[in-house]
Structure 1
Amino acid sequence: MKAIATALDGVLILEPRVFEDPRGCFFESWNARTFAELTGSAAAFVQDNHSVSHRGVLRGLHYQLPPAAQGKLLRVVQGAVYDVVVDLRRGSPSFGGWLSVELSAANQRQLWIPPGFAHGFLSLSDHSVTLYKTTAYYSPEHERCLRWDDAQLAIPWPLDGAPLISPRDAAGLSLDAAEVFDR
């Protein structure tokens, strides 16, 4: 597996070494030792989540505040998503900055998002299946949502029309109004 640095300090794209032959393919999707070596993090994952989304579904931008802040390791096992991460670490040189990456079953990339970032994605396929590990349990009282369409962020979501979003995500806050992380 190799790690690709991104413009947001700590956020990494992980690419597995894939072994392909006429039967199909094989790759190691998780190895604690390799993960620690590549990320510098000995993250202890406590929860696995499985998300199924139809084309045009937008989820996020979600995060949890301390003491329940979550690191996330994501991958797509069916379909494709436009994945977005926003830096919410006040004092970070990239505070309010964002990045996007396409994660798909075809490219087999994973995304490591340490605590301190908001995360969301848009399903680009009729049926996208996303799996992700978290370093903290889901905690409704610590959960927050940043507006996916905040004008200050100006994220160019690849949309054909309006996305399908939850009422909770529709009520997300702008970056200016959001609770953020002290670095």
Structure 2
Amino acid sequence: MRARELAIAGAFEFTPDVHADKRGLFVAPYQEPAFVAAVGRPFSPAQLNYSRSMRGVIRGLHFTRTPPGQSKYVYCAGGRALDVMLDARVGSPTFGKWDAVELGGGSFRAVYFPLGVAHSYVALEDDTVMAYMVSGNYVAEQELAIHPLDPELVLPWPQDITPILSPRDQAAPSLAEALATGMLPRYEDCVLAE
């Protein structure tokens, strides 16, 4: 397994080895020793989430109030997705920056998002399946969002898709609005809670 640090402090891309033969292939998208070597601590999942989306669906930018917070390990099990992260942690050395990784399509890559980093993706194909382990259980009152089409962010959404957003994501504030209302997590709180 190869790990690559992303442009967001504490975020990583993981690319596992693929073992193929005439029967097909085997791959382990999450491997604890490689994760610990890159991140410096184990990942303790509390829940496994699964979504299937048609081409053009954008989910996110989602994050969880910290504390308690929620980190994520994300994998595309079918189809293709452009996975986007935004550092929403006030005081972080990479606050307001984003990075993107194409997942699926035979790459078997996965990405890790630390607490306070907002997560989003767009399905690049119909029937794109995303599976992600999260470090905390879903609690509706703790779930927060930033508008994924905030023009100030200049996120790398493909120009050849028509974005399909949930009502929740359509109503989400911009990053500047979220900052002004005090809903964004503080970097120190995220680091202490990890």
Aligned equivalents of 1:43 and 1:77: distance in 2? 20
Q: Could you tell me whether the CA contact under 8 Å between 1:2 and 1:38 is conserved in 2?
A: no
Q: Deviations over 1:24-77 (max 9, x none)?
A: 111223333332223212221100000000011110110101223110001011
| TM-score normalised by structure 1 residue count | 0.95
SS of structure 1 residue aligned to 2:140: coil
Tell me if the contact between 2:87 and 2:95 (Cα under 8 Å) persists in the aligned partners. yes
Query: How far apart, in 2, do the equivalents of 1:131 and 1:2 lie?
Result: 20
Q: Name 1:21's counterpart in structure 2.
A: 21
Matches within 5 A, 1:47-66: 47-66=47-66
How big is the alpha-carbon RMSD for the aligned residues of Structure 1 and Structure 2? 1.3
1:105 deviation in Å? 4.1
Partner of 1:182: 186
Mapped to 2, the partners of 1:105 and 1:75 lie a distance apart of: 11
| Between 17-26 and 52-61, the greater mean CA deviation after superposition | 17-26
Partner of 1:160: 160
- Give the total of aligned pairs: 183
Which whole-Å CA distance do the structure 2 matches of 1:78 and 1:160 have between them?
20
TM-score (norm 2): 0.90
CA distance, structure 2, for counterparts of residue 46 and residue 173 of structure 1: 28
- Would the alpha carbon gap of residues 48 and 160 (structure 1) be closer, same or farther in structure 2, given more than 3 Å must change? same
Identical aligned residues as a percent: 37
- Equivalent position amino acid for 1:129 in 2: V
Aligned residue for 1:85? Answer: 85
Answer whether contact 2:90 2:185 (CA < 8 A) is retained: yes
> 1:1-183 residue pairs with structure 2 within 5 A?
1-178=1-178, 179-183=183-187
After TM superposition, give the deviation of residue 181 of structure 1 in Å. 1.5
Measure, in 1, the Cα distance between the counterparts of 2:81 and 2:162. 16
Q: Which moved more, 1:103-112 or 1:158-167?
A: 158-167
Instruction: State how far apart, in whole Å, the 2-side matches of 1:161 and 1:79 are.
Output: 15
Q: Is the 8 A contact 1:68 1:137 kept in 2?
A: no
Counterpart residue type for residue 181 of structure 1: P
Q: Write the distance in 1 (CA, Å) between the matches of 2:103 and 2:15.
A: 11
- Where 2:36 maps in the other structure, the secondary structure is helix
